[in-house]
Structure 1
Amino acid sequence: MDQAATERRRRRFLNVALTTHEGKTVRFYDDLVKDKTVMLNFFYTNCVNEAICPLSTANLVRVQKLLASRMGRDVFMYSITLDPAHDTPKVLAKYARAFGVGPGWLFLTGDAADLEALRRNLGYVSPDPVEDKDRSQHIGMLRMGIEPLERWAACASLARPEWIVQSLVRLEPRQADQQERHGGKSRL
């Protein structure tokens, strides 16, 4: 890939420092997104809207199980907290254990200003500033993509796990090419 394309991809994302639920410091772009297939969502462990965060996490555990051996090898999942004051690495680790999260899925926290900038950079915002400021009104959206190919999609994190996996697979070049040849119908 040429240098201009690489630079364009790098500029698309912030490269803020984050801390994993395992206590490791990572850079968002350099360590987590660059050259990877990723799935991203925002959440917080003490979510007041029980219909969003806990159900989304449970649903994404099912997605992780469907992806099986691909998780942590060629697909990575990242859940980023909206409440860094509460969601320390220790709290995030307890949350991950409670849901039975496996390898390839990191729960992330960091500096509040960096997380807010990242949330905005990734498009997890409401056009209504009052709603956007109220953490309990956040949307349960999952963004997924293949960074080196610049192929991105989004769906509800509560969508059927099979549909989420199929959406991710459709971003892969061979799947997209097959769909074009077969009139847009998936051969999964």
Structure 2
Amino acid sequence: MGNFGKRLLRWSLYGICALAPAAYVFASERPPRTTPRLPPPMRGGFGADYFGDIPLTTHEGKRVRLYEDLLRDKAVVVNFMYARCDGICPGTTKNLRKVQDALGEAVGRDVFFYSFTLKPDEDSPEALNAYAKANDVKPGWIFLTGTRADLERVRRKFGFIDPDPSVDAQKRAHIGVVLYGNVKHEQWAACPSLSNPEVMVEQIRWFMASPAN
């Protein structure tokens, strides 16, 4: 198993419903109704050295760095999409809008939503901004584009891959999953993008928890 596979395996050991190497294990049950508490940071697995500061551009035209600006010490919700999509993308966006509404002011303060395009050649900041406005996206949810090479690196860093190269090359193979986690504490989980939004909210709140709670 290569170094990347080993890192994904370590990732899978510390999630609730985790990413196994090259495959997703989806969340299907509500987390236990106990006081949320995350374990201490695992240190040295998925920090700056792993993610790197890949340059990206937001739907508002702001230049940002993947780790330093978007991920460091944050709870995040991540998905991949493209604006001109007649498949699952519109349903995913609508579902995440319900999640955003349910989380209220916590979005942009305690948890951050990031949607990365899989078609950067089409999805300019202007196109993504129009998409965000059309879907009434609220603050705290950022759509991101960049060069094709950089977005490919981002996709692979987050583990949105398939072991079959012919499947991996298909954009639609990577749009049906939402990933969420606490970057500082290296806790990650994935679920189908059309999951019950109430269940998703409960799981995301778990990742927003502080070990001091």
Q: Is the 8 A contact 2:79 2:175 kept in 1?
A: no
Q: Give CA deviations for 1:11-61 in whole Å, capped at 9, x if unaligned.
A: 23132000000000000100000011100000001124x2x1010001000
| TM-score, with length taken from structure 2 | 0.75
Aligned residues, how many? Answer: 172
Instruction: Give the superposition deviation at 1:136.
Output: 2.9
Q: Give CA deviations for 1:62-86 in whole Å, capped at 9, x if unaligned.
A: 0000110101111100000000000
Q: 1:124 aligns with which of 141, 156, 160?
A: 160
Instruction: Give the superposition deviation at 1:177.
Output: 10
Matching residue of 1:14: 52
Q: Is the 8 A contact 1:47 1:136 kept in 2?
A: no
Which residue identity does 1:105 align to in structure 2? Answer: W
- Summarize the Cα distance change of 1:177–1:124 in structure 2 as closer, same or farther, 3 Å threshold: same
Q: Give CA deviations for 1:81-138 in whole Å, capped at 9, x if unaligned.
A: 0000000000000000000000000000001001001101111011111111121333
Which residue identity does 2:162 align to in structure 1? Answer: S
**Long gaps (5+) in structure 2:** 1-41
Between the two structures, name the one with larger relative contact order (CA 8 Å, sep ≥ 6): 2
Distance in 2, Cα, partners of 1:128 & 1:7: 26
Percent of residue pairs bearing the same amino acid type: 45
Matching residue of 1:45: 83
Q: Is residue 95 from structure 1 mapped to residue 99 from structure 2 by the alignment?
A: no
Q: Is residue 137 from structure 1 mapped to residue 159 from structure 2 by the alignment?
A: no
Q: Is residue 24 from structure 1 mapped to residue 62 from structure 2 by the alignment?
A: yes
- Summarize the Cα distance change of 1:58–1:9 in structure 2 as closer, same or farther, 3 Å threshold: same
Q: Is the 8 A contact 2:45 2:186 kept in 1?
A: no
- Summarize the Cα distance change of 1:16–1:69 in structure 2 as closer, same or farther, 3 Å threshold: same
Distance in 1, Cα, partners of 2:187 & 2:200: 15
Which residue identity does 2:66 align to in structure 1? Answer: F
Distance in 2, Cα, partners of 1:173 & 1:100: 27
Q: Is the 8 A contact 1:79 1:106 kept in 2?
A: yes
Comparing both structures, which one devotes a greater share of its residues to helix?
Answer: 1
Instruction: Give the superposition deviation at 1:5.
Output: 3.1
Distance in 2, Cα, partners of 1:54 & 1:134: 18
Q: Is the 8 A contact 1:71 1:105 kept in 2?
A: yes
Matching residue of 1:33: 71
Q: 2:196 aligns with which of 160, 172, 176?
A: 160
